[in-house]
Amino acid sequence: MGDVKTVALAGQPNVGKTTIFNELTGMTQCVGNWPGVTVEKKEGSMIYKGMKFNIVDLPGTYSLKADSLDQKIARDFIIENKDAIIVDIIDTNNLSRNLYLTLQLIELGRSPIICLNFIDEAEKYGISVDDKKLSDRLGGLPVVKTSGRYKIGIEDLKETILNYKPIPCEIRYSELLENTLDKIVEKLERYSLPTDEKFKGVPKRWLAISFLESDPEVLELFKKNEDLLKEVKKIKEELERELRHDTESYVAEERYKKVDEILKDIWKENIIFDDIDKILLHPVYGMIIFAIVMYVTYSVVIGLGNICIEYIKTFFEYLGVYASRIVPEPFTGVVVDGIIKGVGSVLIFFPYIAFMMFSLTLLENFGYLTRVSALFHKIMARMGLSGSSTIPIIVSFGCNVPGIMATRIISDTLRRISTLLVLPLVPCAARFEVITFMAATFFEKHVALFAMGIVSITLILLSLVSYVIGKYIVKGKPEEPIFELPPYRLPDWNYILKRTWVYTKYFLIKAGTVILAGSILFYYLLYYPSEENCYGMIVGKILEPITQLMGIDWRGALALLSGIIAKELVVSTMTMAYGGIPNIVESLTPLQAFVFTLVTVLYIPCLATIATLFHETGKSVKWTLFAVGYNLTLATLVGIVVYNIGQLLGFA
């Protein structure tokens, strides 16, 4: 087969990179981490006409400026792997925005294959592009039209990769910018350059552009060369005096002007959806529509979930009766009351989790969630977060762990820390299970309203905490975010079902491992040495002086304690501690149920979230303990205040 060639798939987020990767590699994939970090690295192999290729899926990035972890990883790979074939995957519907990254690749001395993806959608919406003229205006770079979803153009892309040969390609900007770059290049040639292995061979013109953009890694590279930095600073200041604004913005403007110049007369854009976006992104109408969408989502999720729950409940009841007949008497208790009732009480609410994940994935696939991010970015900035924080928050509704990991897209370090600290307050799918359990048990006629109320209170508190953290603890001005609004798309049911399965599979795995082990553990705590004087009572009684202030007895305290292992354990432990759902209804008032739910959503996240938070803060004990401490304090204070106000208002 000869030498194995490396192919790197580059591109901005939401351009269909993963779909193209899957089509090229099939099932020959492996998932690991990039060296030294926890960012996922996907690699696969492709054999085409006797030639083997190693396909690498680079992180999606809007830019190659090294001011975020994902961007740095992508750029480092491109710089260090000079012989790699770069495939620049572009969303044809957003060609003008996506070509920004293409120009940066060319500045870096690379000649990528241009892959115009989603060509089926573009044609459906009346968007056309002359690929031959585009190739000519990009210096002869190969251009291939594809649709990963419908397998259009995949063979053409493979053929282009097979026959790829690098070609010299250069992009020229305005006379003013080019003259400035020439001055910096002249200075670079007069000084000895750093011997950093990674940057050997990069074009001096690219280094000059990086100086104008204040690229943090390039500035760090030259920090010992003070004379050169002083001369470059003078050149920058001269340019800024002439422009009357900063050089970073100027370079970006020049790239977009060049993109417009390249696309003139060869790309026809359809603006049919602009009016829709004006409504969805409107500060008033957009918020109203968002509230309606969320209410309908919760109503549909709970309505469909209720239909499935009865069947699952009947199954576990039958399983418990059957197990009690065949399991030896010494083990009947732990098997029936511990394992089957414990795990069953969690799995009963699996439909809620599945339908919620399905709904969020559907909204994401349709293109709405990105618009929600844009809608809320001003609010986020006022809260002391970045507009880019919206995406991790939305992801955290599924699970806090991937939400915390998604903060890597935030380039502003201070805003990233702020976001990391508040994400554990976002009600994840496991906490949603507790919400739906309490809603169905105590507020049957107002299930959706109860769920919306708990979530709304939590998000209000998240906003207040974010403001305090941003203003007094992690200070700094947030950066202005860039939002790429994808076109509205008809649902890709195959993608939606796969993503839903990925999210819900994690829940099922926990049910078979952590929740199973936890159910057994808390069964023994509640029934040994005797049911009347068990170890669980001793532990619960230690916590009861505090939890009684919010109307929660030792059994509820023990259920809250189990939630530190996994929030899914709260329902199963509660069911065992109170002796079944009917006893829970008899033991708690609606006010106590409301407070218990609110506290469960707010207090310490599960161990997996704490571990991920520790890792993503750079293994900072300080920030991890701070997050855990304020979560616990906030939940306790809110629980006490809400319970006592409720009593004063006559809801006891």
Feature table: binding site for Mg(2+) = 22, 25-26
Cis peptide before 529 (omega within 30 of 0): yes
Nearest CA-CA partner of 612 in 462, 413, 421: 421
Burial 322-357, CB ≥16 within 10 A → b, else e = eeeeebeeeebbbbbbbbbbbbbbbbbbbbbbbbbb
Q: How far apart are CA 50 and CA 531, in angstroms?
A: 70
Residues in the chain: 652
The Cα-based distances of 102 to 61, 247, 410, 481 in angstroms read 11, 20, 22, 20
114 with 135: CB under 8 angstroms? yes
Adjacency order of strands within the sheet including 40-48? 29-33, 40-48, 51-57, 5-11, 85-91, 113-117, 143-145
Q: How far apart are CA 465 and CA 422, in angstroms?
A: 7
Helix 429-442 and helix 590-602, axial crossing angle in degrees, nearest 10: 180
Distance of CA 282 to the CA centre of its chain: 24
Q: Helix H segments across 163-273?
A: 175-190, 204-212, 216-221, 226-243, 247-263
Going by their DSSP bridges, the two strands 113-117 and 85-91 should be labelled as parallel
Q: Which residue has the tokens 């106590």?
A: 592
Type of residue found at 343: V
Nearest CA-CA partner of 421 in 610, 233, 571, 192: 610
Going by their DSSP bridges, the two strands 85-91 and 40-48 should be labelled as unpaired
Quick one: DSSP state of residue 481?
P
**Which amino acids are annotated as binding site for GTP, given as ranges?**
11-18, 36-40, 57-60, 117-120
Q: How far apart are CA 121 and CA 90, in angstroms?
A: 13
3-state secondary structure of 288: helix
**Token pair for residue 208?**
């000059």
